[in-house]
A and B are shown apart, each in its own frame.
Chain A
Amino acid sequence: MNIVVLLKQTPDTESVIRIATDGKSIVTDDLKWIINPYDEYAVEVALRLREQHGGTVAILSWGPNRVVESMRTALAMGADSGVLIDDPDLEGADSLGVAKALAAAAKQLNPDIVLCGSRAVDYDLAQRGAMVAEFLGWPHVALAISLECDGSKVTVDRPIEGGKVSLQADLPALVTFGGSHGIWNPRYASLPGIMKAKKKPIDMKKLSDLGLSGSECGAQAIKMRIASLEMPPQRAPGRIVEGADAAVKAHEVVRQLHEEAKLI
């Protein structure tokens, strides 16, 4: 089975985010970069599918050279090879442009299934998977919290408000992953894995290798941009409730919620 994983490199979720002097971008100098956690779940599922069905797992990513480090981590987990779209003309592209480039690159890899996270923990636009599926002309199922695949179709559960729904899609299809670390338990890279990863191939591609140009999907083609960034409103400082014991404090909290905040 030919499996392709779309992988984004994102800042660590503990990062302190600071607005740059241009007022519309963030300071990236001192950030620690990781595999987007939701894409890490996709890597784990890809490896399980290869264990089950045989075949290959390719990691497809885009961006500057620092992304290679995250791809090597995925290779160390067990993926076979990588493709990085590293083209200055793709810098500043919006999600739509990146999705076009990824779909073109994925097509060249001839996959049976494409896997990726449902969202990225930085800009959280939650659209890459659906957009790539549209450009591939494939069915997609999003936000999977479980997955089974018999080689010809894939079955997933996904949460909806008030419950969950089970979906089945004929391959080739694209699946995006929700859930959490506790659900997917992505494997750690072993030391032998890390050593082997150094020798696994990572192909570098330009947009022209994909039959695309910057005017189609790069900064010149963007439909939406960030006009400005602002810090969220600061909450007014709260108060610690005084009182002799829990019962007295409980009475005071209810009084404030009822009479002052008028919430109950």
Chain B
Amino acid sequence: MGNCVCVITEFRGGNFRRVSAEAASEGRRIADVLGCSLCAVAIGSGTGAKAADLGAYGVDKVYAADDPSLEYYIAETYVPVIAEIVKKCDPSVVILPASVDGKDLGARLAARLDASLAQDCIQVSCEGGAIKAKRPIFAGKTLAWCQWEAGSLPIISCRPNVMECLVPMPDKKAEVEKVAVALPAPRAKVIGLELDTSGKVELTEAGVIVSGGRGMKGPENFAILEELARTLGGAVGASRSAVDAGWRPHSDQIGQTGKVVNPNLYIAAGISGAIQHLAGMGSSKFVVAINKDPDAPIFSKADLGVVEDLFNFIPALTEEVKKMKSTC
């Protein structure tokens, strides 16, 4: 153990996803502290052509597993390939994004390598060469610093939208080693894929989110939030109340049993602020809350609170944003 930091990137639809850049940047930062190199795993279909580009994030060497059978993540194909690469490069720590596939891959890979995984981490420290990772537990009510026993390989998945994405060497090309892929037919396979083509931003990776709760009173009223989100270039989320009422799909739900989000700006309209909702958006950098009830708990988590009827306020806010943008 100890030759390098190894980052496992996520490749989809012919490109590395932004979470890969975040993980690679964090890997580079850790490698610099530890005084070692940064290697990356690029696994998917078409990774060979793009692998060298990871050099921009400070990656020194990429192990590229490129095969049509790897187009979609399946644990049975990805994990054996990645485990072999990890054993080969013998890292002192493995980093990967805590994306949907990343969390699953990290878990099965950890078991394969007889290692322990800290999931969904928001900070990594390596003082004195000892790796520690901080992660939320109990829906973010507490933060835990995890540490590994001497001789154990730390595997760390990083929460999306938290680690700073740095591009220190935009023109650097990483060294690429192609890895042979010869797998038995897996017993699980992808049989269908439905992707939203409207271009809407994934909530867990959005910089701006406008979210609605029970105060929206009905599904058709979310149109005013969609208009505001469009004006701000953001995504629309919902509280559990709105989802349980059938107004919005579960994939829009923010909260303890929904998604955890970290936008720069979170606008909560008609959301009371139950503890389980706060668990999902509490780490938003700036929160604006609109609610008719001045005692709504959401105001305790808001940087700016507006005690107003959201049906008057939201359209007015959209107007003001448009005016501001037109004068810039």
Contacts and interface: CB of A to CB of B under 8 A. Distances in A.
Interface in B90-121: 99-101, 103-104, 106-108, 110-112, 114-120
B188 A141 contact: yes
A230 B138 CA distance: 12
Contacts of B152: 223-224
Contacts of B308: 246, 249
Contacts of A246: 308-309, 312-313, 316
B183 to A, nearest CB: 13
A96 to B, nearest CB: 5
A134 B111 contact: yes
A169 B75 CA distance: 11
Interface of A: 11, 13-17, 19, 26, 37, 94-96, 99, 121-127, 129-131, 133-135, 138-143, 145, 155, 158-170, 173, 179-183, 222-232, 235-236, 238-241, 245-247, 249-251, 253-254, 256-258, 261, 263-264
A173 B137 contact: no
Contacts of A99: 111
Contact of B111 (A96, A222, A226): A96
**Quick one: which of A13, A166, A224 has the most chain B CB within 10 A?**
A224
Contacts of B325: 264
A182 B243 contact: yes
Nearest to B318: A250
A246 B268 CA distance: 16
16 contacts: A15-B138, A26-B142, A96-B114, A131-B110, A134-B108, A139-B188, A155-B191, A166-B190, A167-B190, A168-B188, A182-B243, A223-B152, A224-B146, A240-B306, A251-B320, A263-B265
B287 interface: yes
Interface stretch (B33-41, B164-172, B193-201): B193-201
Contacts of A155: 191
Contacts of B307: 240
Given A99-B111, A168-B191, A133 B75 contact: yes
Given A139-B75, A223-B148, A127 B320 contact: no
Contacts of B276: 13
Interface in B285-327: 286-288, 294, 299, 301-309, 312-313, 316-317, 319-321, 323-325
Interface in B210-229: none
Contacts of B204: 161
Nearest to B130: A227
A132 to B, nearest CB: 8
Contacts of A254: 317, 320-321, 323-324
B111 A225 contact: no
Interface of B: 17, 72, 74-76, 79, 99-101, 103-104, 106-108, 110-112, 114-120, 132, 136-149, 152-154, 186-196, 200, 202, 204-205, 208, 232, 240, 243-244, 250-251, 253, 256-258, 264-265, 275-276, 282-283, 286-288, 294, 299, 301-309, 312-313, 316-317, 319-321, 323-325
A245 B144 CA distance: 44
A159 B190 CA distance: 13
Contact of B257 (A170, A180, A224, A240): A180
Q: Which of B74, B76, B104, B308 has the most CB of A within 10 A?
A: B104
A173 B188 contact: yes
A254 B325 CA distance: 10
A230 B145 contact: yes
A173 B188 CA distance: 9
B320 A139 contact: no
A227 to B, nearest CB: 4
Nearest to A135: B111
Given A134-B108, A250-B316, A17 B145 contact: no
Contact of A161 (B118, B202, B282, B309): B202
B192 to A, nearest CB: 4
Contacts of A139: 75-76, 186-188
B256 A13 contact: yes
Nearest to B245: A182
Given A140-B108, A254-B321, 19 more contacts: A123-B138, A126-B107, A142-B104, A167-B188, A181-B257, A224-B148, A224-B152, A225-B149, A232-B282, A232-B283, A236-B303, A238-B304, A239-B304, A241-B305, A245-B312, A253-B320, A254-B320, A261-B303, A264-B232
B117 to A, nearest CB: 6
Given A121-B256, A182-B250, A263-B265, A127 B106 contact: yes
A90 B320 CA distance: 59
B305 A238 contact: yes
Given A131-B108, A168-B189, A238-B287, A228 B145 contact: yes
A218 B4 CA distance: 30
A179 B99 CA distance: 16
A165 B316 contact: no
* Max chain B Cβ within 10 angstroms of own Cβ: one of A127, A180, A261: A127
A182 B244 contact: yes
B135 to A, nearest CB: 8
